[in-house]
Amino acid sequence: MAVKNVNVDVKQVKFGKDGLVPVIAQDYESGEVLMLTYANEEALQKTLSTGFAHYYSRSKKKAYQFGDVHGNYQKLKAAFLDHDSDTLLLKVEQLGNGDAEKGTFTCFPTQLVGEYNTIGGEMFGRLQRIVADVKKNPEDGAYTSFLFVRGVDRIAKKVGEEAVELVIASKNDDKKAVVCESADLLYHLMVLLNVEGVKLSEVCGELCKRNR
């Protein structure tokens, strides 16, 4: 299903002399950058009209739908144009891996510098996928698999227990304990959301409605 408000005049996009415009694809939930690629006018028109990301292959010299070979499609959630109108940002929901041949969700899997794990939004997006993967592929002895086997009652109970422990840690003015208990609470909450079929985007959407 195509996204809403697709009556966009692509003429406002400044394509280069080669007829292409750089496109950054970003996961709409976690904010992870999935890939940097290119689109021509045909690919952009198809992206907007179908609701699925289309790009231009410089090697094959033609527009194509992302995932038409491996089946890892990208559903368009939103599109942005930069100040100079010569670069596009697509917010997408990716079904499968970005780099299907290497089996990675993003085409930028190699970290060179920085403290990647401290980035909140991306970390939660990754955790959501990890929890979902463990549910599909249970691991013997894995705690997350154990929780799924025990079911929603056990998971919900753990969420309650961790919430109480966080309250106690905060009352004791113990910063280290607050950090640890907050991590425990958020982890178990992620597992509970998965069991209930709730995605982070839905929770964030509800928060956005209230932040007014």
Averages of pLDDT over runs of 10 residues in the chain (212 residues) are 61 94 92 93 95 95 88 90 96 78 80 68 83 91 94 96 97 94 96 94 85 62
DSSP 114: S
Does residue 121 share a domain with residue 165?
Answer: yes
Q: What CATH number is associated with residue 142?
A: 1.10.287.1080
Q: What is the total count of domains within the chain?
A: 2
Does residue 185 share a domain with residue 122?
Answer: yes
The contacts of residue 208 (CB under 8 Å, 6+ apart) are none
Contact 75, 52 (CB under 8 A): yes
- Residue 101, in any domain of the structure: no
**Structural domain harbouring 60:** 10-94
The contacts of residue 190 (CB under 8 Å, 6+ apart) are 124, 127, 128, 131
Does residue 176 share a domain with residue 120?
Answer: yes
- Residue 146, in any domain of the structure: yes
- Residue 4, in any domain of the structure: no
User: Of 43, 59, 94, which closes a domain?
Assistant: 94
Phi-psi label, residue 197: left if phi above 0, alpha if psi -120 to 50, beta otherwise = left
Q: How much is the pLDDT for 120?
A: 67
Does residue 158 share a domain with residue 84?
Answer: no
Does residue 123 share a domain with residue 58?
Answer: no
Angle (nearest 5°) at CA 86 between 31 and 106: 30
